[in-house]
């Protein structure tokens, strides 16, 4: 801090009274080091100059002041300003003897009014967001600092715009308050918004402090009703006997030692006894038999976790159990006796569950004053888990997976598991929810590879997945094993439909549901988008090609220019040549018995058939559904990243934007329950099997086995977790057989 000395005299110079510096003044201004907030420092120095009656030195010389007096006053002002700079910053401003020049030099160095600074500060304030856990006062201070910095750059923001920018910086939790502030108003003031936000925060804190039901230890006190506990060790006659023998206390008699002259809370005997006893986590009642339940521990087991339904967050008092910690302004925790425990930090803890799977607890509060680790069941339930308590066992279930188990001790549930620290937690990460979610998406996308999943994860298209790693998967190895590939030829196409590949696959030994044994594919070389058409005979290729050509040319406004195929008879018909000649389509063929020259189409057919094989294998459906699996495989391939497109998807290149329908995708062959309306007493849903989607219809394609028909419905509930659970059970059975 810079202490500004008192001005005792202006020397022998004659100065008009209105320009004489104020004497007997002392100010403390924080020294500026060139890195802090220059705008705030500038404001403090200006206040100091005003108090010292030296602020006029930042303007032009007054006419009624002689040169000698003007120089004397400026030296005083410059020295006062330089005293507010750290030593390293004084060197650059030691030559200025006039306050206006010094002030301008400081602004030129630390407050450049360039267009880059304008852009930087405006981007900061437009993207400014309230940080989770930060107090509203801190948020307002940060906002006002940015407004002040813009004002120093001569950027004025209207009061209403400031209010709207402040509202825009709030999170979704303030949505109700924002709606209330804006409802029915044509204009809004910044001061009204800031006051409302601060008052709202104070009101929430008061509600928490005075909330009687908030308790960390879950203690329920009161007398046991003997009528509710008949036959449990206390007969009615015994209760009456105890009641008759109960002693009534005198007016000034202690309820603990029965001596007169003090109350129980001031009893010296009780105080000494409590000091000698081990620490209890929950206070006992006067009569231990009168507690419905209580928590008492003679040892502090730091690894035990209490499953608490009244706990707002996961909490832990043991800092060494955290694998990661960071500073956090999270307020306080209220105890059962209204004591307050401060939340110091927030972090991550790894827990090994009852089945050996390592789970990661995020946003765990570090509260040093607690006595036990608390696992919040409320956080678990809000994340989509179902909590079941029965027979002394607590289970948390998601679908068919039991992810957490707890055992009742006394009247509290304790987690079945242990804490994992260090490298062991990282080595098991493939077994947690991330692996389950990655495997679900892996199956949902037709058993797509890890590289394709990681590409979609980077684009933020797959919910619940962070890495895309799913580990070894036997179905993929058994159905996708191939020979070493040939070299890849690159076609430098400049737009969609400039170069099209095609190939026919078949015949299949098994007819599809529609009686088809063949299919033909058309692949656009530029986007790698694929179209698949089922056929009963090979001679349908030309008709299908003409229909496909008319469709894509109408949709895109472009024309097919080049067409590559093998030498199959369906492509070498005279009529096929004449159609291409009339349309101006250039034809390319391959050398006989060299399918590698039509590699794009051949590899696409191989990819589609591979997906059909492992979708049928994983779902357990018969081979008659290969046509349905093929249609869904085509749907998936167009939405998977392609190496030929540098990680982009075919639909993204074809349409110009990524597909946004990943949430509607399901695992082929999973159980589906579609809505029906029959008689009033009949079920409202029937069980079917998911087969994919139908073109031009916003609904799911389902197979209803009882009627042996394909059903189209949009009101469907899916059960995908059963397939994942079945897959894990099969893996465990195989491991036990191998062992």
Question: Which pLDDT band, with edges at 50, 70 and 90, does 236 fall under?
Answer: very low
DSSP 3-state of 432 = coil
Quick: pLDDT tens for 386-402: 899 988 899 888 766 77
Which residues are paired to 398 by β-bridges? 401
The pTM score is 0.41
Q: How many residues does the chain have?
A: 739
151, pLDDT greater than 90? no
Asked if 627 and 634 touch (Cβ cutoff 8 Å), the reply is no
Buried b (16+ CB within 10 A) or exposed e, 96-134: bebbbebbeebeeebeeeeeebeeebeeebeebebeeee
Q: Is the pLDDT of residue 415 over 80?
A: yes
> What does the pLDDT read at residue 731?
63
The dihedral built from the CA positions of residue 354, 356, 360 and 364, taken in this order, carries a sign that is: positive
Kindly tell me if the per-residue pLDDT of 234 is higher than 60.
Answer: no
Specify the pLDDT at position 516: 95
Say whether pLDDT at 167 is over 50. Answer: yes
Per-residue pLDDT at 212 exceeds 70: no
CA 21, 23, 25, 26 dihedral sign is: positive
Residue that the structure tokens 């939790």 belong to: 173
Q: Could you report the per-residue pLDDT of 533-584, keeping only the tens digit for each?
A: 999 999 999 999 999 999 999 999 999 999 999 999 999 999 999 999 999 9
Q: Which pLDDT belongs to residue 46?
A: 83
Phi and psi angles of residue 675, each rounded to the nearest 5 degrees, phi first = -75, 135
- Diameter over CA atoms, the chain: 120
Q: Examine the pLDDT at 224 and tell me if it is beyond 60.
A: no
Provide the token pair at 623.
Answer: 């081979």
- CA 250 to CA 664: how far, in whole Å? 74
Residue 698: pLDDT band by 50, 70, 90 thresholds?
Answer: confident
Q: Verify whether residue 308 is a known catalytic residue.
A: yes
Instruction: List the catalytic residue out of 308, 432, 436, 566.
Output: 308
C-alpha–C-alpha distance, residues 129 and 132, integer Å: 9
Query: Which tops the pLDDT comparison, 296 or 179?
Result: 179
List of residues 6+ apart from 184 with CB closer than 8 A:
none
Half-sphere exposure of residue 154: CA atoms within 13 angstroms, side-chain side: 5
Of 109, 93, 87, 119, the residue nearest 38 (C-alpha): 109
Query: Up-side HSE of residue 290: CA atoms within 13 Å toward CB?
Result: 9
Higher pLDDT, 700 or 176: 700
Q: What is the pLDDT of residues 322-348, one digit of tens each?
A: 888 888 877 788 777 767 888 888 999
Confidence tier at 190 by pLDDT (50, 70, 90): confident
DSSP 3-state of 344: coil
Quickly state the pLDDT bin for 232 (edges 50, 70, 90): very low
Per the prediction, the chain carries an average pLDDT of 77
Whole-number pLDDT of residue 12: 47
Residues 152-176, mean pLDDT to the nearest whole number: 82
Percent helix, strand, coil in the chain, to 5, is 40, 15, 45
Residue 711, beta-bridge partner list: 702
Asked whether the predicted pLDDT for residue 613 surpasses 70, the reply is: yes
Mean pLDDT of 235-248: 47
Question: Residue 595 is encoded by which pair of tokens?
Answer: 């399918």
CB 353 within 8 A of CB 364: no
pLDDT tier at 34, thresholds 50, 70, 90: confident
DSSP letter, residue 598? G
470 Cβ contact list (under 8 Å, min separation 6): 435, 438, 439, 442, 450, 453
Q: Is the model's pLDDT at 381 over the cut of 90?
A: no
Q: Is the pLDDT of residue 116 over 80?
A: no
4: pLDDT strictly greater than 60: no
Q: Helix, strand, or coil here: 387?
A: strand
Q: What are the angstrom distances between the C-alpha of 255 and each of 246, 249, 287, 294, 462?
A: 12, 7, 11, 21, 65
**Is it the case that residue 638 has pLDDT exceeding 90?**
yes
190 compared with 282, residue with greater pLDDT: 190
Rounded Cα distance between 691 and 688, Å, is: 9
Most confident of 125-134, 255-264, 433-442, 682-691: 682-691
């Amino acid at each position: 801090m810079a202490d500004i000395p008192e001005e005792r005299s202006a020397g022998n110079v004659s100065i008009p009274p209105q320009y004489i510096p104020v004497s007997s003044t002392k100010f403390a201004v924080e020294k500026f080091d060139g890195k802090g907030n220059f705008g705030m420092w500038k404001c403090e120095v200006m206040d100091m100059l005003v108090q010292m009656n030296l602020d006029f030195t930042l303007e032009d010389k007054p006419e009624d002041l002689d040169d000698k007096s003007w120089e004397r006053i400026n030296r005083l002002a410059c020295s006062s300003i330089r005293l507010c700079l750290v030593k390293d910053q004084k060197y650059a401003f030691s030559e200025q003897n006039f306050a206006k020049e010094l002030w301008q030099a400081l602004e030129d160095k630390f407050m450049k009014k360039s267009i880059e600074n304008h852009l930087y500060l405006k981007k900061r304030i437009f993207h400014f967001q309230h940080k989770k856990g930060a107090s509203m006062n801190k948020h307002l201070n940060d906002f006002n600092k940015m407004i002040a910095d813009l004002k120093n750059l001569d950027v004025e923001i209207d009061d209403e715009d400031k209010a709207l920018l402040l509202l825009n910086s709030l999170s979704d939790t303030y949505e109700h308050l924002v709606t209330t502030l804006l409802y029915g108003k044509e204009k809004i003031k910044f001061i009204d918004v800031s006051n409302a936000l601060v008052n709202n925060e104070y009101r929430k804190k008061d509600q928490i402090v005075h909330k009687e039901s908030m308790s960390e230890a879950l203690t329920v006190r009161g007398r046991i009703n003997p009528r509710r506990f008949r036959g449990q060790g206390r007969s009615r006659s015994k209760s009456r006997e105890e009641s008759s023998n109960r002693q009534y206390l005198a007016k000034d008699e202690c309820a603990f030692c029965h001596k007169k002259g003090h109350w129980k809370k001031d009893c010296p005997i009780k105080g000494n006894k409590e000091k000698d006893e081990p620490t209890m986590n929950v206070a006992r009642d006067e009569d231990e038999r009168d507690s419905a339940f209580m928590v008492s521990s003679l040892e502090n087991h730091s690894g035990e976790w209490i499953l608490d339904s009244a706990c707002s967050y996961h909490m832990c008092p043991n800092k060494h159990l955290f694998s990661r910690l960071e500073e956090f302004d999270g307020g306080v925790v209220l105890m059962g006796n209204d004591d307050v425990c401060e939340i110091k930090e927030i972090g991550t803890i790894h827990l090994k569950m009852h089945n050996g799977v390592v789970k990661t607890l995020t946003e765990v509060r570090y509260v040093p004053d607690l006595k036990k680790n608390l696992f919040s069941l409320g956080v678990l339930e809000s994340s989509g888990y179902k909590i079941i308590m029965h027979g002394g066992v607590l289970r948390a279930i998601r679908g068919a997976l039991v992810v957490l188990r707890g055992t009742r001790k006394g009247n509290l549930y304790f987690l079945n598991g242990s804490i994992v620290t260090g490298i062991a937690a990282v080595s098991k990460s493939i077994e947690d929810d991330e692996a389950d979610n990655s495997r679900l998406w892996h199956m949902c996308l037709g058993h797509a590879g890890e590289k394709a999943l990681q590409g979609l994860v980077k684009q933020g298209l797959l919910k619940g997945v962070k890495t895309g790693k799913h580990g070894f998967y036997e179905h993929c190895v058994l159905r996708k094993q191939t020979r070493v590939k040939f070299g890849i030829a690159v076609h430098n196409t400049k737009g969609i439909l400039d170069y099209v590949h095609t190939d026919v696959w078949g015949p299949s030994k098994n007819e599809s549901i529609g009686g088809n044994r063949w299919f033909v594919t058309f692949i656009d070389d530029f986007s790698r988008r694929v179209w698949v058409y089922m056929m009963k005979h090979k001679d349908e290729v030309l008709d299908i090609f003409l229909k496909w050509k008319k469709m894509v040319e109408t949709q895109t406004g472009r024309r097919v220019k080049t067409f590559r195929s093998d030498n199959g008879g369906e492509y070498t018909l005279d009529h096929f040549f004449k159609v291409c000649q009339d349309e101006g389509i250039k034809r390319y063929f391959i050398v006989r018995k060299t399918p590698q020259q039509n590699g794009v189409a051949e590899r696409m057919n191989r990819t589609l058939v591979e997906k059909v094989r492992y979708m049928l294998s994983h779902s357990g459906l018969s081979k008659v559904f290969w046509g349905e699996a093929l249609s869904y495989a085509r749907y998936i391939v167009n939405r998977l990243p392609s190496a030929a497109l540098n990680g982009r998807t075919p639909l993204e290149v074809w349409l110009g934007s990524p597909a946004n329908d990943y949430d509607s995708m399901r695992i082929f062959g999973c159980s589906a329950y579609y809505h029906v309306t029959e008689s009033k007493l009949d079920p409202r849903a029937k069980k079917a099997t998911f087969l994919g989607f139908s073109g031009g219809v916003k609904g799911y394609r389902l197979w209803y086995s009882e009627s042996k028909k394909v059903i189209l419905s949009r009101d469907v509930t899916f059960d995908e977790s059963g397939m994942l659970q079945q897959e894990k059970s099969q893996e465990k059975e195989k491991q036990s057989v191998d062992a």
